[in-house]
Amino acid sequence: MIINVSYWTRVFKNIMYVILLLIGLYLALKLSIFYMPFLVAFIISLIIEPAIKCIMKKTNLTRRTSSIIIFVIVLGIILGGLIWILITLFSESSSLLQGLNDYFDKAYIQFQFFMESFNFDKIHLSNEVLNVIQNSTGDLLETASNWLRNSLTGLIELVTSLPSIAICIGITIVALYFICVDKIYILDQIEHHLPKIWVRKIGKHLKDLIQTLGGYLKAEATLILVSFIISLIGLYILQFAGFNVQYPLLMALFIGFVDALPILGSGTVMIPWAIICAINGDLNLGIAIIVLLIIMSISRQLLEPKLVSKNIGVHPIFTLIAMYTGFKIIGIMGLLIGPIVLIIFKNIFASLIDQGVFKTIFDKK
């Protein structure tokens, strides 16, 4: 048997190339979590870069002066928003945690009332099946209660860990200042200390990645922020108008988080919420929530075509697989991080994917 050494050498090189890229991507993700303040500062700098360039163009000021002006404005907005959010989050989370058992008791009572009022004879369910449904519902409510209690406790602990938060915020602010003011110097230093071939290859991939992933994230962040602000203002207006809206900030954050998930959207939260309100007899609140959802949906539909390119080339089924994989690996946050990693994978392995991954690796040329 004759072994084609050159063929298997090429296959081995291609496999090692893919493995090294995967290891590099894994290390990059780990380092991005470890150096989170610098990553946040970098993302904010990308968002405010157009404003800096606009001031430079309109006023003929230097980059340093323009960056300082925008930095001071952004800093005031961020610090003011953070102070209000932390105080309100602590207040609402503590209040919800205290009344959590009452809410789930009411939910279980409502379910029992439904079970008693529904005519199960029409669908011929046995008593054993009904008992299983009741016990499963009780277990589900207990699991949801424990998960929500642990989440709220973790949120309160996070909010009250002021030294750690202050250090992270401080480092992020300082890093943002230097990235904005000394961007050209930082890029020059990176190019100076890296081999030219690295600069060319990394620069090409980084430029493509920033254009695709950076543009996508910036657009999605804008849409999520718009949804969060509209839902927050709307819920506070409903609360001031006398509707039974409790914990508006927590609900707005939850709506914003779900709205950030591909495939899902704010309707995933607001439609069931409106139905529950209507079932409980608060029809006016249910209608008001639906009206708020319609306003949010119209705003998103008007903004999305201008902000998000539909040609990122990721089919919804692969996005769903990425969400599920992320959820199984790192939990709830994986639903958000999974699709982002998928876009990164698609960008890095674009040539392999276009030509066919296994075809490229194993085909004889």
- The answer on 136 and 238 residing in a single domain is no
CB 252 within 8 A of CB 92: no
Q: What is the pLDDT of residue 328?
A: 82
Per-residue pLDDT tens over the stretch 102-145 = 666 666 666 666 666 655 555 555 666 666 666 666 666 667 66
96 belongs to a structural domain: yes
- The answer on 231 and 186 residing in a single domain is no
Q: What is the pLDDT of residue 354?
A: 60
283 belongs to a structural domain: yes
- The answer on 165 and 100 residing in a single domain is yes
CB 223 within 8 A of CB 183: no
pTM of the predicted structure, to 2 decimals: 0.63
Q: How confident is the model at residue 28 (pLDDT cuts 50, 70, 90)?
A: confident
| DSSP symbol at 122 | G
Nearest to 177 by CA among 355, 315, 41: 41
Q: Return the residue matching tokens 């698609």.
A: 346
114 belongs to a structural domain: yes
Q: What is the pLDDT of residue 161?
A: 66
Distance CA 5, CA 7 (A): 5
Nearest to 231 by CA among 292, 279, 164, 177: 292
Least confident interval from 249-258, 287-296, 349-358: 349-358
Domain that holds residue 262: 219-310
Return the structure tokens found at 158: 């996070």
- The answer on 243 and 185 residing in a single domain is no
Percent of the chain as helix, strand, coil, to the nearest 5: 85, 0, 15
Per-residue pLDDT tens over the stretch 68-115 = 888 899 888 888 888 888 788 777 777 777 766 666 666 666 666 666
- How many structural domains does the chain have? 2
- The answer on 143 and 224 residing in a single domain is no
Q: How confident is the model at residue 363 (pLDDT cuts 50, 70, 90)?
A: low
Which secondary-structure segment (H or E) carries 4?
Answer: none
C-alpha 31, offset from chain centre: 19
- The answer on 165 and 240 residing in a single domain is no
Distance CA 326, CA 100 (A): 29
For 328, how many CA atoms within 13 A lie in the half-sphere containing its CB? 6
Q: What is the pLDDT of residue 311?
A: 46
